[in-house]
Each structure stands twice: as C-alpha cells, then as structure tokens.
A and B are shown apart, each in its own frame.
Chain A
Amino acid sequence: MSGQYIIRRLLIMIPVLLGISLIIFTIVRVIPGDPAVVLAGPHATKDVVDQVRVQLGLDKHPVKQYLLFIGNIFKGDLGNSNRTGLPVTKEIMARFPNTLILAFASILVATIFGVTTGIIAGVKQNSKFDYLSMLVALFGLSMPVFWLGLMLMLLFSIKLGWFPSVGAESFKHLVLPAITLGANSTAIIARMTRSSMLEVIRLDYIRTARAKGLSEKVVISRHALKNALIPVVTVIGLQTGTLLGGAVLTEIVFAWPGIGRLLVEAILSRDYPIVQGVVLVVATMFIFVNLIVDILYSVLDPRIRYH
C-alpha cells in the first residue's frame, strides 16, 4: 500500500462526487413539488411565491444554478437551508455526529456479534449452536428495520423499561437504535463468516497446521481466522454503506436526531440544498469506507499489493 496509491484514490473521488452531485441536483428538481410554493405556504399569492423563488435562486437557469452550486462547494459552501435559512454545512454538522455514532455503534455491534457467531457456527458445524444461530440470522435478514425497531421498543422500553424509547441524550438511548440498525448486518456478517470459515477450514494449509501438532485453538485463531476474514472485511465495508441508508428508518423510529431524519424532513419540504448536501456527505463517507476496506484488505492478505 503506497502513499501514492492512496493519493490517487483520493483524487478519483473528485469526478465521482461531481457525478453524484449532478445526479442528485437533477433528481431533486425532477420530483414533483415546488419549494417556493411549499415555503410560501398554501395561501400565498402568486407574487409572493415568485418573490420566494427569486430569494431561493430558483428563477435562474438550471445550468447556472448547478454551476453556482459546484463553485460554492469548492469554497466549502453548500448553500443555505430553504426552511431555516441556516448554512447547510451547519445543519449537517449539527446532525452528522449523531448519525456517525449510531452507524459506528451498529457496525461495531454487527461485527463483534456477527464475526463471533460466524466463527463458532463454522467451527462447530451442524451443532445446536450452528443451527440455532443460523435460524436467528435468517430472522435477522428477513426483518424490516422499522418493524424490528418497534418490537424492540415495545419490549425493552415500554414493557420492561430497560431502555428509553426515543431521543439521543445518553448511552442508554443508543442501545436499541444500534441493535435495530445493526441486526441485518449482524445476520449477513455471521452467515458470511460461517461460510468463509467452512471454506478455509478444509484447505490444505489447515491440514499442514494440524500436522505440526498445533492445538485446534491455534489452528483456528492463527491459521484459519485471518484467511476467513478477508472476504468478511468486504462485506463489513458494504454493510457500512447500506447502514447509512438504513439509518434513515431507524432514526425516524427512535426519533434519533441524525442526518437521516434531516434528509427525510428536507425531502418532504423540498429543501433542495439540504437534500443535496446530505447526499454528498453520505456519498463521501461511502467512498472513504471503500478506501479503508481496500487498505484493510492489503493488511490481511500479503498477496494483495496496490500500485
């Protein structure tokens, strides 16, 4: 992994993000609904609406709007929210840490539980643990996020009172949303780890390790695990991306003040600058996660060298 390679990967981000910005810029303008009408209110006269439109800069030609938008991005300015008038960067920064915390907690939960379960299930193939955990994983896969969120909330906060149901004031508030958001990924990571483990465990070099007289514990932890985790790292990376999407629903169910909820609110009120800003930030995150996955890959597998 050369520094040059990382720099090149970072430079590639620029055209990718430009492409994404164009797509999202177009999409928000194609979906029906006029921001000026929404903002001016249902009883506003046509004059007022036109005035609002000028204020928002939406009277300009779309190409000009886009160029302005891009030009401002390079100055670190994503525009102002239609609704609050505050800078988009400020709005996002106020919410983004919450989403990061939620996403990080979820992927952490998913990785720890998923990988551990997958290893044990794989090593003890066809055991009770294997059957049970894979059955639970199947549930985890087929459960819609909002349904699971509501069920957890019903059981653990309303019935048992162990955790608060909504808000983001303390660590306790994080538990249920993190489990909800991470459930799907836990299941996917567990299944992937298990099948990867099963694959690796029957390879020739594992037999070589056993032939040395190593204990099963060392054979698994030193010889099988690192190899088995190589494909799992990709899945964890992909899941981190998916998670950012899933965060929207979780944030709504648990009234978690993150950018997912911000995005939904912005879409409903046709707040173009916020929508564009949130999408760009999420896309940037996604690309970074991919880069980290590739770096991890080369750490795990000496055969991989990026140039």
Chain B
Amino acid sequence: MSLLQVRDLKTYFYTDAGVVRAVDGVSYDLKEGETLGLVGESGCGKSVSALSILRLIANPPGKIVGGEIFFEGKDLLKISEKEIRNIRGNHIAMIFQEPMTSLNPVLTIGLQIGEALELHRNMNKKEAREEILRLLRMVGIPDPERRIGDYPHQFSGGMRQRVMIAMALSCNPKLLIADEPTTAVDVTIQAQLLEVVKELTSRLGTAVMLITHNLGVVARHVNRMAVMYAGRIIEQGPAAEVYAHPWHPYTIGLLASVPRLDKPRKERLVPIDGQPPNLILLPPGCSFMPRCSYRMEICSKERPELRPVGDGHFTACWANMER
C-alpha cells in the first residue's frame, strides 16, 4: 500500500486580482521508503502542493478546495486539528525552501530542535539535549556543544538548512518533504545538503518528496519523478524512464536545458521560451500550448489528461511522440 496518496488536490488563493489556481488537480502516490522528485519552473505550484499535505496553507488567502490526501490510509484533509498536529513534525516533516527566514530569530537552535522531541518523543530537557547534540553531529554541524545555544543569525545559510534537516529528522518521520532552497545557498552547498538528506533518509528508510529545480539532481537521486506545469502534473513516471524517454514537450525542453554542476547555475531555471501562464486566467485547453512547438488544433480546445505512455509512465499531452 502507498504511504501517501494524493488525489485531485486543488489549492487556490483568493486574491484581489482573482482566484489563483496554484494547485489544480494533482494526483500522485508515494510508497514507503521511496523518493519522489517534484520538478517544474518557479511558480508552478510545487511548494503549495507540498504545504497542502500538512495543511500549512495560510487561510486566508489560501484554501484547499478539493481532493484527498491519504497518509497511511487516513485522509489528512478530514482529520481534526489535533490529529494533524500529531502528524506534523512526527510522521511527516518538512524542510522549507527559505533557509534565512524559516528559523525563529529570537530562539536558540537548540530550543527549536528540542521542541519536537519534547512534544512527540516525550523527552525531558536532559534527554532532549543529548538527542539535539546527536542530531547536530549527524547533520554535520561542527562543535555542537558550543553551537546548541547559538541563534540562527550566527549560522550561514547552508548551516541553517542543516539545522532544519536535523529538526525535520528529529522524530524519525515516515515522510520527509524537502523543498530545496533556490536562494541563499550556492550550488556546491546545495549538493552537500542533498547528500546529507539522501544519506540520512536512506539509512532511516524515510520516504522523501524532493522538490527541486534541478533535473540533474532528480535523475541521480529519486526513484520516481513528477513534472509540474501551471498547477498540474503533466508527466510522471520512473525517473530513469522519464529521463531517457521524456514525452511531454515541456519535459523535453526542461531536460534539454539541464544545468550542469561544472557550469555556474542561472538564478532561476527558464528552460523554454515564453512565460508560464497566469494562474488566474488559465486557457481552456493545454496550459503549455502558447509555448509549445508541437501544438495541434485540439490543444487549444480540450485539456489533455494524464494517460499511460509506458510502464508506470504517464503524460498529459495530445501529441504522439515518435520514439
């Protein structure tokens, strides 16, 4: 059975300019111990779909308007506040995308890591301290005895992200959602952080949902990948398969522009000509149509749904690619 089953998830933001359909009917599965890569351009809804799992969408303006999120068979969207709190940080943990602002500036990192231990693992202060030191050592923070009482501003972006990793793994979650930082951390540090996450989660058998811009990363580190565009998954399947035989023109474009580790990375990955569509006024047909060089008549009229194109490989595109 799947650990996580997301079905037709819809998360909208109600803004003055209109309804932003940030996540508009997303479905995927994640098995125990499996790693899923979620990729796509900036603003396509990766973070919002991840935050929706833990019901961390700020309301207002955001609201999960539809769908189901089954975690170990329970629909996270239907359980009580108390029940979801027992899942947060305990069974499902998240590493946020913003290393500079995700830690509380006025509390020591020791306190911030210890909170979850005291809450979910019923540790007392002394036990928690030992465990915090162990966690800090585990994520590679030097001199933990001295650092445990330091405040976030005394750490670099990369070190703060390590603190976040320690915090997220502190209660041995079954699922870790790791939203890769796109700013404040350079590409080498990012690769190191990913190694830390990968090493620890494979040791602990944690399932990981890895959100990233970097397709090179996805190819090497994940079992399966899902490509998002304008709030929807437009292609998903086994990472090796999608990598070798991309079907959707958007995925093809993304892969053609994979940034290489030996070259400096661009601020934001803009792989294909044109801009992603306005999520308030989505066109009726395929959202990728304006930028697609394979477009056909039907593309502007009817929206393509995901359909199987290989073993466990799905795509939402009308075109029949010649292989």
Judge if B269 is at the interface, Cβ distance under 8 Å: no
Partner of B106 from the list A210, A211, A215, A301 (CB cut-off 8 Å) is: A301
Partner of A210 from the list B88, B93, B151 (CB cut-off 8 Å) is: B88
Known: A212-B89, A212-B119. A226 touches B106 (CB 8 A): yes
Known: A211-B88, A213-B87. A203 touches B101 (CB 8 A): yes
Q: Which residues of B contact A211 (CB under 8 A)?
A: 54, 56, 88-89, 93-94, 96
The answer to whether B104 touches A208 (Cβ under 8 A) is yes
Judge if B90 is at the interface, Cβ distance under 8 Å: yes
Alpha-carbon distance between A205 and B94 when the two chains are bound, in angstroms: 12
The answer to whether B106 touches A208 (Cβ under 8 A) is no
Alpha-carbon distance between A210 and B104 when the two chains are bound, in angstroms: 12
Alpha-carbon distance between A223 and B103 when the two chains are bound, in angstroms: 10
Known: A214-B85, A303-B105. A207 touches B115 (CB 8 A): no
Judge if A202 is at the interface, Cβ distance under 8 Å: yes
The answer to whether A303 touches B87 (Cβ under 8 A) is no
Identify which of residues 273-307 in chain A touch chain B, using a CB-to-CB cut-off of 8 Å: 300-303
Identify which of residues 170-209 in chain A touch chain B, using a CB-to-CB cut-off of 8 Å: 202-205, 207-209
Judge if A83 is at the interface, Cβ distance under 8 Å: no
B150 to chain A: closest residue by CB: A302
Identify which of residues 98-129 in chain B touch chain A, using a CB-to-CB cut-off of 8 Å: 98, 101-107, 112, 115-116, 119-120
Alpha-carbon distance between A226 and B104 when the two chains are bound, in angstroms: 10
Q: Which residues of A contact B106 (CB under 8 A)?
A: 226-227, 230, 300-302
Q: Which residues of A contact B90 (CB under 8 A)?
A: 213
The answer to whether A205 touches B153 (Cβ under 8 A) is no
Alpha-carbon distance between A211 and B55 when the two chains are bound, in angstroms: 9
Judge if A29 is at the interface, Cβ distance under 8 Å: no
Q: Which residues of A contact B54 (CB under 8 A)?
A: 211
Judge if B58 is at the interface, Cβ distance under 8 Å: yes
Q: Which residues of B contact A218 (CB under 8 A)?
A: 115
Partner of A202 from the list B58, B88, B153, B164 (CB cut-off 8 Å) is: B58
Pick the most buried of B94, B106, B115: most chain A CB atoms within 10 A of its CB. B106
Q: Which residues of B contact A300 (CB under 8 A)?
A: 106
Alpha-carbon distance between A223 and B112 when the two chains are bound, in angstroms: 10
Known: A211-B94, A213-B85, A213-B90. A205 touches B102 (CB 8 A): yes
The answer to whether A205 touches B101 (Cβ under 8 A) is yes
Known: A210-B88, A211-B56. A227 touches B96 (CB 8 A): no
The answer to whether B85 touches A223 (Cβ under 8 A) is no
Known: A203-B101, A207-B56, A302-B151. A213 touches B89 (CB 8 A): yes
Judge if B202 is at the interface, Cβ distance under 8 Å: no
Q: Which residues of B contact A301 (CB under 8 A)?
A: 105-106
Alpha-carbon distance between A212 and B103 when the two chains are bound, in angstroms: 12
Alpha-carbon distance between A214 and B103 when the two chains are bound, in angstroms: 14
The answer to whether A213 touches B101 (Cβ under 8 A) is no
Alpha-carbon distance between A156 and B199 when the two chains are bound, in angstroms: 71
Q: Which residues of B contact A222 (CB under 8 A)?
A: 107
A158 to chain B, nearest CB (A): 48
A304 to chain B, nearest CB (A): 10
Q: Which residues of A contact B115 (CB under 8 A)?
A: 209, 212, 214, 218
The answer to whether B107 touches A204 (Cβ under 8 A) is no
A154 to chain B, nearest CB (A): 44
Alpha-carbon distance between A155 and B104 when the two chains are bound, in angstroms: 47
A215 to chain B, nearest CB (A): 7
Q: Which residues of B contact A214 (CB under 8 A)?
A: 85, 89, 115, 119
B58 to chain A, nearest CB (A): 6
7 additional contacts (CB under 8 A) given A208-B164, A212-B88, A301-B105: A205-B105, A207-B102, A213-B116, A213-B120, A222-B107, A300-B106, A301-B106
Q: List 19 A-B contacts (CB under 8 A).
A: A202-B58, A204-B96, A205-B103, A208-B96, A211-B56, A212-B116, A212-B167, A213-B85, A213-B86, A213-B87, A213-B90, A213-B116, A213-B119, A214-B85, A223-B104, A223-B107, A227-B106, A301-B106, A302-B153
Give B contacts to A, CB under 8 Å: 51, 54, 56, 58, 85-90, 93-94, 96, 98, 101-107, 112, 115-116, 119-120, 151, 153, 164, 167
A-B CB proximity, top 5 nearest: A212-B89, A213-B88, A204-B101, A213-B89, A205-B104
